[in-house]
Amino acid sequence: MLRNYLIVAKRNLLKHRFYAFVNILGLAVGIISTLFIIFYLQFEFSFDKFHKDADNIYRVSIITSQEGKVSNDSPVYVPPVGPDLKQEFPEVEQYTRFSTPRTIYYDRDNKYSKITGNIYADSTFFEMFSFKLISGDASAVLREPYSVVLTKSAAKIIYGDENPLGQLVKTGNNELFKVTGIAEDPPENSQIQFSALLSFESLYKNPRNYMDWNGGNQYYTYIKLSGNSSAHELNSKLPAFMWEHINKKLAKYRIDYKAYLQPLGEIHLKYNERTEAGLTSIYIFSGIAFLIILIACINFINLSIARSTKRIKEIGVRKILGAGRKSLFLQFISEYILISLGVFFVVIAGIELLFTYYKSIAGYSFDNLSLYSPENIAVIVGLIFLVGIIAGGYPALYLTSLRPVESMKGEIKYTQRKFSVKNVLLVSQFAISIALIICTIFISRQLNFVSHKDLGFNKDNLLVLPLLNNESKENAEKLKNSLVSISGVQNVTASSDIPYNNFTSNGYLPEGFTSPVMIHVVDADQDFLKTYGIEMVKGRSFIPGMSSDSTAYLINEALAEQLGWKDPVGKIIERNGKHTVIGVVRNFNYSSLRDKIEPLLITEQPYRNLFSFVSVKINPADIGGTLAKVKYSWENVNRTSVFEYSFLSDQIAQLYKPENNFRSIFFTFASIAIILALFGLFSLASLSTEQKTKEIGIRKVLGDTSAGITIRLLKEYFAFIVIANIIAWPAAYFFVHKWLENFVYRIEINWMLFVATGAVTLLFAMLTVVWQAVRAASADPVKSIRYE
């Protein structure tokens, strides 16, 4: 019996192969897309879950308040926090610290290797975290000063195929480190990333490093609690801890530091610097996954319902010949089992073909997760057969319940009602598509706005040369003098930082204030404003050769506004002496456009009188030739320092890589959803028109024109699409508004784009229906009346 069902099912599918193809391909594309998004979400939620004691590990973060107002919340703080916590609280079983990452050139036999992501880490690093150590003793590799653990990739860059264990390697600052271990590269789903680990004890050997409670905010602290300890209880004890160590001293300045614990497993999605944007992306992608599979299911179910109406008389004949309801139901279900098997094989083939492309747009390799995990296979099989049973079961249950007389009349009521299941699904499908189109437009417009917004300085054709060792820093002025003589070079400046991803901040005491104020600062020479094209709005800039300017400050408009200074020139700001404000510069974005422009001052006094960057404004007419001359000048001035450069515009663009990855993923899957919706409309319109072939023939015989018939068919869909727009617009507005909140500087939500999107969607839908309607209305009425 089952074999007979499957044979008949196969014949029906082959007879109507176009609709079978649409059903299989549409559902397969929907499931593939949904699975890829689910996989992305699994990856996002897997961060730091691989550590053995992840549930007991916490990061210490510090909320900074000034005069009762919160000014900062950051896990980067001073070194003594971890040791003092362990000493004073028995519930703290272990601590480990590591520095913010930095770039180091390693010198091996006068061959320099650039390694990014170097961090100074405590000897307990490998005991607390489950990063894999290939060679070396986890408890000893970072115990001694001037020891270093390299990752496999860093060891390959520096040593090639040679075994580096026990060898000495020199850093750009002429410090010798001994290689004591080799580690696997940290997995992608870790928010702790590194290329090399240098022993934290090495920092104490340099007297210039701030390693007590009074400064040196460059370090992360993690603690592990004993098994029965409560993070909540420890949090309640931290205010007293911070009071004794730091807040008591700062109380007169009304500055307060509040420590609290962040669970390791929640850092990526809850305490990351881009947490809000990341969570918004997760919500949106979850929504898209649901919408894509919903559209695929709607197509599948709508076509199934529509196709089932063609078989009413077949059911009537079968019932007259003695077929029972059970056998008819099994006949329908067997067809959907075959379709489901076809979908399964297409899904597997599609995943294999598209996964590489998907990884490229997502920006992850997903190496440590399995796409074919038991959970994901269960999702594939479950979605396919669930949709198949629903799509096949709904029409099968209804059609097999009809009496033979009703079936022989060839009429079916559930597709003819104005608010039928088919029509409701069609409206839902179009509402989803319209909302996705609107969201795609606004996301693209915002990212284009970010790319072209005036930052308050000229970022184009700015060559940035990092000064990464003592030699290059000490030769900065000599390098400047060499570079300005190059014909393709327009301006050159040296600075402590570049306007790219925020400047450091310190405490200053402005005139008229009784407590220090945290202000961002950049140290630069007299050519900084000219090279970057930053405007003065009051006063003057630094004058070369004027000795009094060496202690003077420039401030930006935001700082003048915050301090309430209408005439800032001549005001005094104290920090290690008194400094006179000689000018005010126009606000410029020295961080990403996610952040507002904050108060800033510019000095001529870099730390240790050494700058960290040289910026070169070059003529775009001959970039290649100018670069070659710049490199030649560098190598003449810095005999042992490696020449490295980047363009500031590229670095700024890199700031928005997460948003661009988001746009790529969103655009890809939104396009899939929209195409599925249009494909479904085309198929449904084709089937609907086919079902009305006889009606169209009769109307033509009675004198109706092709235009009249086409308009009558259009009315059926016009109202649905208008209703879909009414539903889609508020939903799209909500998501667009939520996403734009991640940017301080953003586009306005223009309602005309909603109207335009609705009009274009309506046009495409109408063209689809018109094409089918005109073809049917132009057919020979005699053949139409004889149809079936």
Q: What is the C-alpha to C-alpha distance for residues 555 and 569, in angstroms, rounded to an integer?
A: 9
What integer is the mean pLDDT of 439-456?
Answer: 85
Q: Which residue has the tokens 């200053």?
A: 508
What is the mean predicted confidence (pLDDT) over 38-49? 89
User: Do residue 256 and residue 146 come from a single domain?
Assistant: yes
Least confident of 52-66, 306-320, 473-487: 306-320
pLDDT at 103 (0 to 100)? 85
Q: Are residues 724 and 631 in the same domain?
A: no
Question: Which residue would you say has higher pLDDT here, 27 or 681?
Answer: 27
Mean pLDDT of 345-359: 88
Backbone angles phi, psi at 93, to 5 degrees: -75, -35
Q: What is the pLDDT of residue 305?
A: 64
- Residue 34 is classified by DSSP as H
Span 464-470, average pLDDT: 87
Alpha-carbon distance of 339 to 345, in angstroms, equals 10
Same domain, 439 and 542: no
Residue bearing tokens 């003592």: 470
SS3 601: strand
Does the pLDDT of residue 543 top 50, yes or no? Answer: yes
Question: In terms of domains, do 489 and 579 share one?
Answer: yes
Q: In the prediction, which pLDDT does 702 show?
A: 63
**What is the average pLDDT score of the chain?**
83
Q: Which residues contact 324 (CB under 8 A, 6 or more apart)?
A: none
- Strand 176-183 with 147-151, pairing: parallel
Q: 468-494: b or e for each residue (b if 16 or more CB lie within 10 Å)? A: bbebbbebbeebbebbeebebbebbbb
Q: For residue 732, give every residue at least 6 positions away whose Cβ sits within 8 Å of its Cβ, in sequence order, or none.
A: 434, 435, 436, 438, 439, 754
Mean pLDDT of 705-734: 78
Task: Judge whether residue 122 has pLDDT over 90.
Answer: yes
Is residue 607 domain-shared with residue 673, that is, in the same domain?
Answer: no
Query: What pairs with residue 112 in β-bridges?
Result: 107
Handedness of CA 193, 195, 201, 207 (dihedral sign): negative
pLDDT tier at 689 (50, 70, 90 boundaries)?
A: low
Q: What is the pLDDT of residue 552?
A: 94
Give the Å distances, CA to CA, from 762 to 675, 759, 769, 772.
14, 5, 11, 16
Residue 545 binned pLDDT confidence (cut-offs 50, 70, 90): confident
Residue 756: is it exposed, middle or buried by C-beta count within 10 angstroms (0-12/13-18/19+)? middle
Same-domain status, 108 and 147: yes
Confidence check: pLDDT of 508 > 60: yes
Per-residue confidence (pLDDT) for residue 345, from 0 to 100: 86
pLDDT tens column, 550-573 = 899 999 999 999 999 999 999 999
My answer on whether 577 and 637 are in the same domain is yes
What's the rounded Cα separation, in Å, for the pair 128 and 581? 48
Integer Rg of the chain from CA: 34
Q: What size, in residues, is the chain?
A: 788
Say yes or no: 683 and 760 in one domain: yes
Which pLDDT value is given to residue 71? 79
- Residue 582, pLDDT > 80, answer yes
Residue 60 lies in a domain: yes
Q: Evaluate whether residue 505 is within a structural domain.
A: yes
For residue 491, what pLDDT band results from cuts at 50, 70 and 90? very high
Question: Tell me, what's the pLDDT at 671?
Answer: 83
What does the pLDDT look like over 267-315, one tens digit per residue? Answer: 998 887 666 666 777 777 888 888 788 777 777 776 666 666 566 666 6
Comparing C-alpha atoms, which of 667, 659, 692 is closest to residue 785?
692
The more confident residue out of 486 and 783 is 486
Q: What pLDDT is recorded for position 316?
A: 67
Does residue 487 sit in the same domain as residue 588? yes
> Residue 24 pLDDT > 60, yes or no?
yes
**pLDDT grade for 100, boundaries at 50, 70 and 90:** very high
What global pTM score does this model have? 0.78
* Any domain includes 702: yes
- Identify whether the C-beta of residue 718 lies closer than 8 Å to the C-beta of residue 766: yes
Which of 255, 271, 287 terminates a domain? The answer is: 271
Cα dihedral across residues 378, 380, 386, 388: positive or negative: negative
Q: Name the pLDDT band for 585 (thresholds 50, 70, 90).
A: very high
| Residue 558 within a domain | yes
* Domain stops at, among 271, 303, 336: 271
> Per mean pLDDT, which of 67-76, 168-177, 492-501, 773-782 is the most reliable?
492-501
C-alpha–C-alpha distance, residues 30 and 12, integer Å:
24
483, 653, 656 from 451: Cα distances, Å: 29, 7, 9
Q: Is position 761 within any domain?
A: yes
Q: Which of 280, 101, 82, 301 shows the shortest CA–CA distance to 192?
A: 101
Give the pLDDT mean for 204-219.
86
Q: Is the pLDDT confidence value at 773 over 80? A: no
146 in Cβ contact with 203 (< 8 Å) = no
Which domain-ending residue is among 225, 242, 271? 271
pLDDT number for residue 511:
92
Q: What are phi and psi of 107, to 5 degrees?
A: -105, 115
Window from 86-90, 398-402, 588-592, 675-679 with minimum mean pLDDT: 398-402
Whether 670 and 632 share a structural domain: no
* DSSP one-letter code for 77: B
Query: How confident is the model at residue 374, as a pLDDT?
Result: 84
Q: Which residues, including other chains, have CB under 8 Å from residue 281's CB and lie 6 or more apart?
A: 662
258 vs 706 pLDDT, higher one? 258
Domain that holds residue 485: 469-643
- Residue 784's pLDDT band (boundaries 50, 70, 90)? very low
Answer yes or no: is 610 within a domain.
Answer: yes
Residue range 395-402: average pLDDT?
Answer: 64
Across 31-45, 227-241, 768-782, the highest mean pLDDT is recorded for 227-241
In terms of domains, do 632 and 779 share one? no
- The segment with the largest mean pLDDT, out of 338-342, 404-408, 514-518, 626-630, is 626-630
What letter does residue 596 receive in the DSSP assignment? P
**pLDDT band per the 50, 70, 90 thresholds, residue 414:** very low
The three-class DSSP label of residue 340 is helix
Is pLDDT above 50 for 28?
yes
What confidence score (pLDDT) does residue 18 get?
65
CA distance 720 to 732: 18
* 177 occurs within a structural domain: yes
Assigned token pair, 315: 């059911």
Determine the Cα–Cα distance for residues 694 and 283; give it in Å rounded to an integer. 48
The per-residue pLDDT for 13 is: 58
User: Please, are residues 4 and 335 in contact by the beta-carbon 8 Å criterion?
Assistant: no
Residue-wise pLDDT tens digits, 619-672: 998 899 999 999 999 999 987 778 889 999 998 888 888 778 888 888 888 888
When pLDDT is cut at 50, 70 and 90, the band that residue 408 belongs to is: low
Q: Are residues 704 and 627 in the same domain?
A: no
Whether 710 has a pLDDT exceeding 80, the answer reads: no
pLDDT digits (tens, 9 = 90+) for 733-757: 988 888 888 788 888 888 888 888 8
Listed ranges 2-6, 174-178, 302-306, 333-337; the one with the highest mean pLDDT: 174-178
Position 70 scores a pLDDT of 85
DSSP 309: G
Residue 257: CB partners within 8 Å, gap ≥ 6? 62, 63, 64, 65, 77, 242, 246, 247, 250
Question: Mean of the pLDDT values across residues 492-515?
Answer: 88
Does some domain include residue 367? Answer: no
pLDDT, greater one: 664 or 493: 493
Higher confidence at residue 201 or residue 173?
201
Q: Any bridge partners for residue 118, and if so which? A: 102, 196
Domain count for the chain: 3
The answer for residues whose C-beta is within 8 angstroms of residue 4's C-beta and 6 or more apart is none
**Measured between alpha carbons, how far is 578 from 597 in angstroms, rounded to an integer?**
25
What pLDDT score does 395 carry? 63
